[in-house]
Chains A and B, each alone.
Chain A
Amino acid sequence: MSRPDAAGHRAIGHTADVRIESWGPTRDAALAEAVTALADSYARWPTDAVPVKVVVEMAAGSDEELLVAVLDEAVFLADARGLVAVAARVAGGVATFACLPASTVDVVGACPKGVAWNDLVCAATDDGWRCAATIDV
């Protein structure tokens, strides 16, 4: 699939809950965009909000495993710590999540609970990288 150099994301229709897709010029950019795609699937937040940073070392081997690890961490932060990761930076196997307290975001959809391995994508394309994942809510 061809995508422009800029990073971006979207939601895709799937009857098993929620499917998200992201893309970017590099793997780490597409992974970071996937975190925003996840947040965008269920929350809205003020653009001027000041996030807190949460830094997590990712234990993952393959690109797909890294995608699951990054999204799982974002799910965990929201579900257990009440922190909605609205953006991220991924570099060198370390993810830095920009998080807003759940009390400061507007929850507009079903909240994510798990990341499925079915049809998981984290792969290079002709002009960048693409990620896609199905999220259980």
Chain B
Amino acid sequence: MLTLTEQTPYRWRVERCDGMRVPGIVFASRRLLPEPGDASLRQLANVAMLPGIVVASYAMPDVHWGYGFPIGGVAATDVARGGVGSPGGVGFDISCGVRLLLAPQEHDELRPHLGARMDALDRAVPRGLGTGGVWRLSGREELDDLLREGARYAVRRGHGVERDLDRCEDGALADADPREVSERALERGLGQVGSLGSGNHFLEVQVVDEVYDDARAAAFGLSVGRVCVMIHCGSRGLGHQVCTDHVKRMLAVMARYGITVPDKQLACAPVESAEGAAYLAAMAAAANYGRANRQLLSEAARGAWQAVLGTRELDLLYDVSHNLAKIETHDVDGRPRRLCVHRKGATLALPPHHPDLPADLASHGQPVLVPGSMGTASYVLSGVAAGPAFSSTCHGAGRVMSRHAAARRVDGRALRDALQAGGVAVRASSYRGLAEEAPESYKDVDEVVLTCEHAGLARRVARLRPIGVVKG
């Protein structure tokens, strides 16, 4: 039986029990606590049983029931003390993430072109089932280059500009090794570079609706009325296959390392074992694929912009993942430790003056991109000093209604009409897919980000309102 104790109005503690090595910490207002029937707290407790976990198993304000890890979970393991890496702690869609591009135009300038612009984006963005991407790679050799270099390879081949790379979370993950990516994963990945996929992935045209921090907003290039393009997608079939393959591989070897887990999706191996290293190398390759994928979709958006407005100018503010494991150094009990930090539906939020930040953003902290649901809002936050969860914060609004329930309760056509009446132009692959992503399927994103701010996880910088949605 889990015991939840209120520590502050925005922080709750799950006491240790049943093999938990550390407590659980939930950052939530009372209203955002998981609802009855949502198993995310049990999953948070299960994560607390992983070998080598330090400090706590964390849940962000948008936490909800996942598989293995809760979605919105953060867990760090101490590499030197047998800490494990878990593919389930990253999730299937490795390096699923968000990038935000800034247009030079104001909303009023674009209003007359909205329909044409959305039609151009509709044509330019491959999405839905299976193969078909913006970029047809020549073969395995080129895919290997892309897996090693990520967005850098795409830019080197003419798909973007050098500045795009300065604004990616960490350029390319250097430890990527395509040899740890299976043939099946490579086959899935070969034809999908520059595609959106389906589910909750989207490309949105947005307008800066409100600014909360003038100095940071100015540094990030955000002013009320400015138009932006937000892209939310990941590493497509390749990333999913990497997760599938390495969960299976770890399930087969856990006993050899004396590891037992309460949920097979938490399959893991020590970071410093052969299996742990193989997973991290494959994960890095998939992450590079995810960044290249978003890079190509940025180029597709730029092409659509050019077709309608005669300019390709869409400057990248930032690109950040919310499904990833990274080796990072953090102080634990007053000493720096090398940790494997898993963020499953949680976003890195580096504080001001962190060495990984681009020089022109360093004094402001990392831009954190939080996609909301259609018809509500998305946010730009910034990382803060002394963040209580290894410099992590929320990744979205957090789902509360299943796709199945949403599809039964919501009429996709009526939803599209309501969104359009509210000033949001919608280009969707299917009405049911649209219904599955209805705003009422999600928590209140305004409360989620405000809770992040109150809990000391991140600071609000700007609110973005959608005016056009391309849905997978």
Cβ contact of B405, chosen from A13, A72, A80, A116, cutoff 8 A:
A13
A18 proximity list for chain B (CB < 8 A):
403-404
- Which A-chain residue is minimally distant from B192 (CB atoms)? A79
Contact yes or no, B68 A118, CB < 8 A: yes
Q: How far is the CB of A41 from chain B (nearest CB, A)?
A: 8
Q: How far is the CA of A115 from the CA of B244 in the complex (A)?
A: 7
- A136 / chain B contacts, CB cutoff of 8 Å: 67, 91-93, 240
Residue among A72, A75, A110 with most chain B CB within 10 A: A110
> Smallest Cβ distance from A136 to chain B, in angstroms?
4
Which of B104-112, B128-136, B353-361, B461-469 interfaces with chain A?
B128-136
Q: Is the CB of A110 within 8 A of B64?
A: no
Complex interface: chain B residues within 8 A of A19 (CB): 402, 404
Closest Cβ neighbor of B243 among chain A residues: A114
Interface string of A95-125 (1 = CB under 8 A from B): 0000000100011111101111111100000
Q: How far is the CA of A30 from the CA of B403 in the complex (A)?
A: 23
User: Of A15, A42, A111, which one neighbours B38 at CB under 8 angstroms?
Assistant: A15
Asked if residues A15 and B400 are in contact (CB atoms below 8 Å), the reply is: yes
| Cβ of B349 to closest chain A Cβ, rounded Å | 23
- Residues of chain B within 8 A (CB-CB) of A11 are 404
Count of B interface residues, CB-CB < 8 Å: 50
Query: Is A93 an interface position by the 8 A CB rule?
Result: no
How far is the CB of B86 from the nearest CB of chain A, in Å? 12
Indicate with 1 or 0, residue by residue over B148-163, a CB within 8 angstroms of chain A CB atoms: 0000000000000000
**Stretch of B166-174, B259-267, B285-293, B305-313 contacting A (4+ beta carbons < 8 Å):** B259-267
- Per DSSP, chain B at the interface is mixed
Partner of B436, one of A14, A84, A107, A109: A109
Cβ of B199 and Cβ of A137 under 8 Å apart?
yes
Q: Does A12 contact B (CB under 8 A)?
A: yes
- Nearest CB to that of A105 among chain B residues? B129
CB <8 Å contact, A80 and B131: yes
Determine if B265 and A116 form an interchain contact, defined as CB atoms under 8 angstroms apart: yes
* Set of chain B residues within 8 Å of A80, measured between Cβ atoms: 130-131, 184, 187-188, 191, 237
Contact flag A114-B240 (CB < 8 Å), given A15-B65, A109-B407, A136-B93: yes
A137 to B201, CA, bound (A): 10
B429 interface contact, C-beta 8 A: yes
When the two chains form their complex, are residues A110 and B433 in contact, meaning their CB atoms are under 8 A apart?
yes
Judge if A17 is at the interface, Cβ distance under 8 Å.
yes
A45 at interface by CB-CB < 8 Å: no
> Judging by beta carbons under 8 Å apart, are A17 and B199 in contact?
yes
CA distance A118 to B129 in the complex (A): 24
B329 within 8 Å of A (CB atoms): no
Using Cβ atoms and an 8 Å threshold, which residues of chain B touch A84? 129
Q: How far is the CA of A19 from the CA of B129 in the complex (A)?
A: 19
In the complex, are the beta carbons of B129 and A111 less than 8 A apart? yes
Q: Is A35 an interface residue (CB 8 A)?
A: no
Within A12-46, which residues are at the interface with B (CB < 8 Å)? 12-19, 42-43
A131 within 8 Å of B (CB atoms) = no
Contacts of B241 in A (CB 8 A): 76, 114
Inter-chain contact B130/A78, CB cutoff 8 Å: yes
Contact A137 to B198, CB < 8 A, known contacts A76-B188, A80-B131, A109-B436: yes
Nearest-Cβ distance from residue B196 to partner chain A, whole angstroms: 11
Residue B401 is within 8 A (CB to CB) of chain A in the complex = yes
> Which residues of the other chain, A, contact B401 by a CB distance below 8 angstroms?
13, 15
A32 to B9, CA, bound (A): 49
Check if B199 sits within 8 Å of A15, measured CB to CB: no
Q: List 16 A-B contacts (CB under 8 A).
A: A13-B402, A13-B404, A15-B64, A15-B400, A17-B403, A80-B188, A102-B129, A108-B432, A109-B198, A110-B472, A113-B197, A116-B92, A118-B263, A136-B91, A136-B240, A137-B198
Which B positions have Cβ atoms within 8 angstroms of A?
38, 64-68, 71, 91-93, 128-131, 184, 187-188, 191, 197-200, 236-237, 240-241, 243-244, 247-248, 251, 263-265, 267, 399-405, 407, 429-433, 436, 472
A residues adjacent to B (C-beta < 8 A): 11-19, 42-43, 68, 72, 75-76, 78-82, 84, 102, 106-111, 113-120, 134, 136-137
